[in-house]
Structure 1
């Protein structure tokens, strides 16, 4: 699986397209659907009911968590899914990292290389894979350089070691 295969799979997925159309209606600055929902789509893993749909955006003019919750409620009114909306202009403080400069900068600092993925439609479909397609192709879960200790905790919490089809690189 290469970059073209990943892009095609996400472009042709009707659920991803519905999510893109729905999030686009919020008209958020620098917005992306990202992380686990996309990884699961690429790997053909069914999302369980507890998995959320991560939406990130970058708006330094309003870093209120209440605004994020308002966006989540609006998305749920349109389509009842487990949306999680986060303004990356404030998330660096939670992750104890220097301030992010954009949503893409934040995505590149997600815990795992195969979580550091985003798609948007501003105005056309765009895929962002800061660590390339190799780990998706090889089904390898490894930490990004920014999150090695957090990555080790997530491996245990998400029980990835129990999935025999994955290779965990700690």
Structure 2
């Protein structure tokens, strides 16, 4: 969305997360295999496939009960979005609404209020070079 709003080509060097929820196979190796398959098939983007049934371990949280709950713990409000294709129909999830997504705003999710969480938020913006990629991006802390 931010690429579109900034006049960049769609999916140009995009960072795309493909998520699912499977309590029966929570090994990171399974996700890594999916990473390889998707990256080979669709090389136009940086894909990361992650089972949200295991991501609570990475986040230091209680286990998530669904993909939606896992997504709601992502760092920035504008990235806590998902699209699902089911029976030929798209459904959308916006965990924190659409304001930040459509207004080019990077803001930490409400649960991230500690100094360490703020540091994580800031480091992600720097590491991913968001302000270079989207010069109009507004950082709100």
Fold match, TM over 0.5? yes
Q: How does 1:131-142 map to 2 (within 5 A)?
A: 131-142=96-107
Distance change in 2, residues 1:59/1:67 (3 Å): same
CA distance in 2, matches of 1:164, 1:40: 11
Look up the match of 2:76. 112
Look up the match of 1:122. 86
- Which residues of structure 2 form unaligned runs of 5+? none
CA distance in 1, matches of 2:103, 2:131: 15
Q: Is structure 2 residue 57 aligned with structure 1 residue 57?
A: no
Q: How does 1:27-106 map to 2 (within 5 A)?
A: 39-41=2-4, 44-46=7-9, 47=11, 49=13, 51-81=14-44, 82-106=46-70
Q: CA RMSD in A?
A: 2.3
Higher helix share: 1
CA distance in 1, matches of 2:79, 2:29: 25
CA distance in 1, matches of 2:7, 2:62: 34
Query: Which runs of at least 4 in structure 1 moved beyond 6 Å after TM superposition?
Result: none
User: What displacement does 1:72 show?
Assistant: 2.2
- Which residues of structure 1 form unaligned runs of 5+? 1-37
Give the SS at the match of 1:114.
Answer: helix
Give the SS at the match of 1:89.
Answer: coil
The normalised TM-score by structure 1 is 0.66
Preserved CA contact (<8 Å) 2:2 2:104: no
Higher strand share: 2
Count of aligned positions:
132
Distance change in 2, residues 1:87/1:39 (3 Å): farther
Distance change in 2, residues 1:156/1:70 (3 Å): closer
